[in-house]
Amino acid sequence: MPTPSKHALHGYGGKGFDELVDAGGAARPGSEALFRHLASLTFGELVDRQRAAESDIAAHGITFTVYAEGANLDRAWPMDIVPRVFPAAEWAVIEAGLAQRLTALNRFLDDLYHDQEAIAAGIVPRELVESSPGWRPECRGVNPPHGVWAHICGSDLVRDADGEVYVLEDNLRVPSGVSYMLENRAVTKRVFSELFEKQSIVPVDRYPERLLEMLRSLCPDGDGQAVVLTPGIYNSAYFEHSFLARQMGVELVEGRDLYVDADDVCWVRTIEGPVRVDVIYRRVDDAFLDPEVFRPDSALGAPGLVRAWRAGTLALANAPGTGVADDKVVYTYVPDLVRFYLGEEPILGSVPTFRCEEPAQLKYVLANLEQLVVKPANEAGGKDLLIGHQADQATLQQYRDRLKANPRAWVAQRVIELSTSPTVCEAAVEPRCVDLRPFTLQAATTYVTAGGLTRVARRKGSYIVNSSQGGGSKDTWIVES
């Protein structure tokens, strides 16, 4: 039964690591003010705030399209009103870890497309790299500005039952979510503004400016024409593409707005005739970017973009070919890559992962499937994920067959018991699993967002937080004490 008059945190608690309260039910460091405020509200009052947030989101047209739900372009972005908190000191460590990791990954990408020292030194096997769907031999020998390939990275972080934060995925291709991070903060400010009165929460809204700065730094004279390239209105992240273009004050273009001439210069069609484009923040996947080089049937990009990029007349962010470092088998080598390129110990750990392509590891995985999570090595959005202990025998057998048929395409991990955060549910505030997607920008310098997008599973006990699979979200606070 709903208990609107009970206070919002009445009876709150769960089994695992909770982001707001410790095992004894007391507020964690940094969360004290939030905890006190939630405890001063009734559940009914909190539900009112939740409803206010939902109407605010609908009115502002903050949308996220889920393909499985048909063509509804106006599906409201799901957001839970209770924020998720990191103390600033803890965040500083994560921030340093993210910067370190992306630096190593960019060194790795530049190395792969040039001298391949990491392969020569035996850190990463050549067959692994060359069998990755994200490997683009067409990119060999290209020198993108600053030697950086992945300019925008949206890592997925998870916190295990022991409280340790791990990198679950690096997402170096075209990660989404940063607009929702910004909008979540704006919504919280509008409908829950008193939360901001008594504490110091690091603002998140510098991101668009930093992004533009980073993009401009890829042009030779540091002040060229930058555009955002979107696959179009039916893309699930179209809202974000439009949002970022708007926030940066640059044009949002589609492939048909662009062309590349015989001198390898890229132009955009304007009402005054063609205008030169110097840098493209492209939100189109590698495969669809340029029919001259990749999929010849694609109309989402524009013919010649890669030609212009190779010629150095056009910068692409991210550069083509970053997907190879996103391969989840390659992921298992990242801690070694940090040591190899930087001579440092990784600040953030990776989730221990079994490489199914190694026979001994495959054998272990097949024998212990019920205790493991199995993932395809080259998919995004939680697609084809198996959570062993939640699957029936038929499904487990099906996965065993798939793993044996193509072991290179799979990895397995022990189950991370995702930490939880209080979430407004039907009858009470209940713990729901969360992860975190911070965004890191890298060119000449590196910038990490203050927090990121917290994604939240909406069903009890579920570990599925992916927005494309109906997951929700939360505003994320870095609180200075």
Partner 1 sequence: MTATTSNPAQMQTKTVSNTVPPATLARHAPTSGPGTTVLLCRTAYSLYWAGRYLERAESLARLVAEHTALLVDLPTSVPLTWEPLLAIPGVNHGFYAQFERADEPSIMQFLLADPSNPSSLYRSLTDARENLRTVRQVFPPEAWRLANELAAFVETQAATGWRRGRRHRLLDRVIADCQRLAGVVSGAMRRDHAYEFFAIGTQLERADMTTRVLDVRAASLIDSDGDGPASLFDEVQWLGVMRSLVGLHAFRRSTSHRVLGPEVARFLLSDPYFPRSVVFCLDGVADALSRLPVRDGPAEECARIRRRLAAVATTNWTKETIRRMADDLQLGLIAVDTAVCDAYFESIS
Site of interaction with partner 1 (CB under 8 A): 58-61, 73-74, 225, 231-234, 238, 242-243, 245-246, 249-257, 259-261, 267-276, 299-300, 303
CB of 157 to partner 1, least distance (A): 31
CB of 276 to partner 1, least distance (A): 6
Phi, psi for residue 173 in degrees, rounded to 5: -90, -95
CB of 275 to partner 1, least distance (A): 5
Q: Toward partner 1, which CB reaches closer, 38 or 252?
A: 252
List Cα–Cα distances, 392 to 290, 314, 382, 386, 389, in angstroms: 42, 51, 19, 11, 8
Strand partners, 354: 412
Q: Toward partner 1, which CB reaches closer, 74 or 384?
A: 74
Q: Toward partner 1, which CB reaches closer, 125 or 224?
A: 224
CB of 121 to partner 1, least distance (A): 44
Q: Toward partner 1, which CB reaches closer, 187 or 252?
A: 252
Residue 235: asked if its preceding bond is cis (omega within 30°), the reply is no
Q: Toward partner 1, which CB reaches closer, 250 or 448?
A: 250
Q: Toward partner 1, which CB reaches closer, 239 or 333?
A: 239
Query: Of 423, 429, 421, nearest to 7 (Cα)?
Result: 429
Max CA distance (Å), the chain: 71
Residue 359, C-beta contacts closer than 8 angstroms, at least 6 positions apart:
none
Amino acid at 120: A
Q: Toward partner 1, which CB reaches closer, 16 or 303?
A: 303
d(CA 316, CA 302): 13
- Token pair of 437, please? 């997607």
CB of 224 to partner 1, least distance (A): 9
DSSP 8-state symbol, 41 = S
**CB of 373 closer than 8 Å to CB of 410:** no
CB of 79 to partner 1, least distance (A): 17
CB of 263 to partner 1, least distance (A): 10
Pairing of the two strands 266-270 and 258-260: antiparallel
Amino acid at 427: A
What length is written for the chain?
A: 481
Phi, psi for residue 409 in degrees, rounded to 5: -85, 5
CB of 441 to partner 1, least distance (A): 20
Q: Toward partner 1, which CB reaches closer, 116 or 242?
A: 242
CB of 232 to partner 1, least distance (A): 6
The residue written with tokens 């062993």 in the block is 388
d(CA 46, CA 424): 8
What is the arrangement of strands in the sheet containing 410-414, beginning at the earlier edge strand? 353-355, 410-414, 372-376, 386-387
Q: Toward partner 1, which CB reaches closer, 315 or 411?
A: 315
CB of 285 to partner 1, least distance (A): 14
Query: Of 372, 386, 382, nearest to 437 (Cα)?
Result: 382
d(CA 341, CA 319): 20
Q: Toward partner 1, which CB reaches closer, 196 or 234?
A: 234
Radius of gyration of the chain (CA): 23
- Token pair of 283, please? 């939100």
Helix-helix angle 43-59:178-191, to 10 degrees: 130
CB of 257 to partner 1, least distance (A): 5
d(CA 355, CA 365): 9
Q: Toward partner 1, which CB reaches closer, 73 or 366?
A: 73
